[in-house]
Every structure is written in C-alpha cells, then in structure tokens.
Structure 1
C-alpha cells in the first residue's frame, strides 16, 4: 500500500513539475503548405502543436523559407526547429522522428511516362525542392543520368514549369505538390498555365523521417515521450490520415499507408 501511494505521489509530482514549467515554445518551421500553413495550421504543424500541448506547452510558429529556418536556429533564434533530417548535425538536442514526407515524382499523365524507380527518370528534365539531393538518399548519385536537373525553393514556379511542359517531372513530397497544384487550378487562366491537366504521383523513394531539435535537452526528451503517447493512442495516425484525405484524388494510395 505504501509503495503504491509513493508511486502515485511521484507521478503527481512529475505531472505538477511538467505543468509548472509549461512554456510558449518558439518553433522555427519551413514555409511548406500544407505541412505548415501561414496561419499555423497544417499536417506537420498540427502534429507539433498537439505534441507540445500534451507536454503542457504551446507552440508559437515562426515561418521562414525552407532550409533558412535551420540556419536561423543555428544562429541562436528560436527554442526549437522543425523538419530536421534524422542525423543532420544541428544545435541543441534532436528528438525521435515525428513526421515523414513521402517524396516521389509528379508528372503529367498525358506524357505517358512509366515511372516506378529512380532509374526511370534517366533522360528526363527534372526539377526538385532546394536541398533535395542532400536529403533524399540516392538522388545525388542519379542526377547525372537526367537530361537536366535543378533545385529551387519556389514550388509554385516548379508547378508552372511542369504544367507548361518545360520540365518532365517534379521530385518532392506528393502532398506539397498537390497543394500548389490546387492553388493554380483555383486561379484558372490567371495562373498562366493549364492546371487542369491530370497529374500522376509515384512514390519512388522511401519515406523521409524528420525530427525536431530543441535547445533544452529535457524539452526534446519530453517531446519524444509525448509523441510516443499520442502515436500509441492513434492520434498521430488520425492527423496524418485527415490531411492526406484532403488530397486523396491526387495522391490515391501512394502516400505511405495513410
């Protein structure tokens, strides 16, 4: 009986300690809709905010161009930084992976391209997100076989290049491309391209896992623990599936298991 009471007291003390140290956490995030939208919503943003909330904290997102948010964290800004490739050296302490991106190739259905492996991109004009060759395993070794390859941060421009048939395919996360395609479709003729053309997405890469990095090691440990709890309860899968469903017509069943 005494042992049980002692255990309950310890658990209560830990809970009180955690909530006593509750904080508003400034998280540096990349501008990657629909993973992170300008209003703080998004698939990845919701996972981060929900996990921090489970730990008793609140998230304050500072949105910057992708990769620049890493540089800002290295220069001393923010309490945490998101979308850090697993194992990439950063300041602070990295958490366990909390989100994965499904990179692949998006191309016009009318092209008749048959793509199921990275090697099938040989001879094609490819554009990718900034830093893709250093993040996606195997990509840097394969680009020599492409007719052309370039990286750019502006993913709306990428989409216009594809719809305008100036490139053959876009390497990147399928959900990200689907969101930019949606914007162009809504803009209609004002977009300057025919965004009504059907697109296909093929997940030719393994999912890329990402972690967070926190300046406070205890906060990093807490984030991993709270995420594991939410994952066990099915809440993380619920968030992922709900956001994937928004783009189901474009992604079909090619976006991991969601």
Structure 2
C-alpha cells in the first residue's frame, strides 16, 4: 500500500497529459503479456507509457511490422522504437526497461535435473519459433538433425503440450509461459501441474531508442523513479506473473 501511495504522489507531479508532448512510438507485434495490441496494453506497453508520462510525454503507439520499424524511424515518421536488442541504431538508447528470461520448463512430477543445454538431449523439446537461431550456438547445435526437437509459433500450444505430456521440455520466456498457463487453467477449470524452471539461458535486456537525447535522459530518470517507487513491479504483477524474488509459479 505504501508503494502505491508513493506512486500516486509521484504521478501528482507529472506533467498533465494535455500539455505533454506527443511521441509517435513504433510498437512491434502483439506478444502477450508484453504487448496486447487489441487492448493497447501489456507489461512492456504499460511500463513504457507510464515512464514517458512521468518524463513529460504522451505515447502514441504505432503498430509497425518489424521489417518496417527501422525505415519508419530513420525517415522521421516515428519519434522512437519501443524496444530493441540491436545496438547500432541511429538516435539514443535508454537504459534497459524490459528483460526477457527464457527457461527450459518441465513438469515437476517428472523430476528432471537439467543443468545445461546438453541435458536436453534425448528429450522431446518444444521451443518458440526461431529459438534455434536466437538462443546461442550450443542450443543451435542441439537442434540440428534432432527429430525430438520442434519449434511452434503459437506459444499457447506449448503450455498445452507440456501439461498433456506431449512434450518433456518447453523453451519459453517466463512471463509468456505464465500468461498462457493461466489461460489454460482457466479454460479447463482446473489447476495446472507444478513446473520446474531450469535456468540455461542468459537474460535478454531490451532498450528503447529515441530520436533525441533529451528524451532518453528524461526517460532514464523516470524509469529509475517508477522502479524505486515499486510501480514497475506492480505493473508486472498486474498481469498475473511473477517478478524476480517472487516464488516461481505456473
């Protein structure tokens, strides 16, 4: 309650939305719970929006296919890009405002001890699309000529395959898995089996890019404020997922 009260005090000092400068921000494809395009919300969406508001700006989201994002930004039609893992774009970079954490996830009842990528050998592994090119050379080697390995674009299906024991391991971001797992339990009217998270991959830190250094400077100050006030973790938890330090649940 105290942290929420502090955030209210912080917001009372914000520049009003009417007078705030509007920024057109390129936002990528819908990836629940980070970005939920149909509802104009999501963990990352809300964090960016509220941080910019605290910095004195209004975010105008423009949903742009990834292939067009850079062209739109370079042309000046966009004032910023919501997030990127690239480090050679024009403009200025903010401090990291969102982190993706991919895990190897198994049913606890299977009692699997997986401490390295080699530990995935001989197991039915379902990963997200393009994971073989995203999770490093060791993982890529594991996937080559591996009849037990599959990639699927629908991460909702990943959860179903794990819970129905059609996969031994799924590779997924923690927040994405927890989001779809919650929906799976709701739709089936039952509790999901308990899972184990095996930390095999380093976290991926993403930053925003803006056209003006002044925006980055103000954004970084505001981001620090919402983290220290507790508002950052409040946003994350509002989507039914766990932050660092919370017990890892389904």
TM-score by length of 1: 0.70
CA deviation vs aligned residue, 1:45-92 (integer Å, no higher than 9, x gap): 22111111112112233457xxxx4323124174433331253x4454
Task: Provide closer, same or farther for how the CA distance between residues 239 and 247 of structure 1 changes in structure 2, counting only shifts above 3 A.
Answer: closer
Query: Runs in 1 of length 4+ with deviation above 6 angstroms?
Result: none
Q: 1:198 aligns with which of 190, 194, 199?
A: 194
* Counterparts of residues 1-258 of structure 1 (less than 5 Å): 22-37=21-36, 38-63=38-63, 69-76=65-72, 78-85=78-85, 87=87, 89-90=88-89, 92-137=91-136, 138-144=138-144, 148-188=148-188, 196-240=192-236, 242-243=237-238, 246-248=240-242, 253-254=247-248
For residues 145 and 104 of structure 2, the distance between their equivalents in structure 1, rounded to whole angstroms, comes to: 16
| Structure 1: runs of 5+ lacking an equivalent | 1-14
For residues 195 and 63 of structure 1, the distance between their equivalents in structure 2, rounded to whole angstroms, comes to: 35
For residues 36 and 205 of structure 1, the distance between their equivalents in structure 2, rounded to whole angstroms, comes to: 23
Q: CA deviation at 1:104?
A: 0.5
**Greater RCO, 1 or 2 (C-alpha within 8 Å, sep 6+):** 2
For residues 104 and 79 of structure 1, the distance between their equivalents in structure 2, rounded to whole angstroms, comes to: 34
> Which shifted more, 103-112 or 168-177?
103-112
| Structure 2: runs of 5+ lacking an equivalent | 1-13
Q: CA deviation at 1:182?
A: 1.5
Task: Provide closer, same or farther for how the CA distance between residues 48 and 103 of structure 1 changes in structure 2, counting only shifts above 3 A.
Answer: same
Instruction: Name the structure 1 match of 2:6.
Output: none
Q: CA deviation at 1:154?
A: 1.6
User: What is the total number of aligned residue pairs between the two structures?
Assistant: 226
Q: CA deviation at 1:237?
A: 4.3
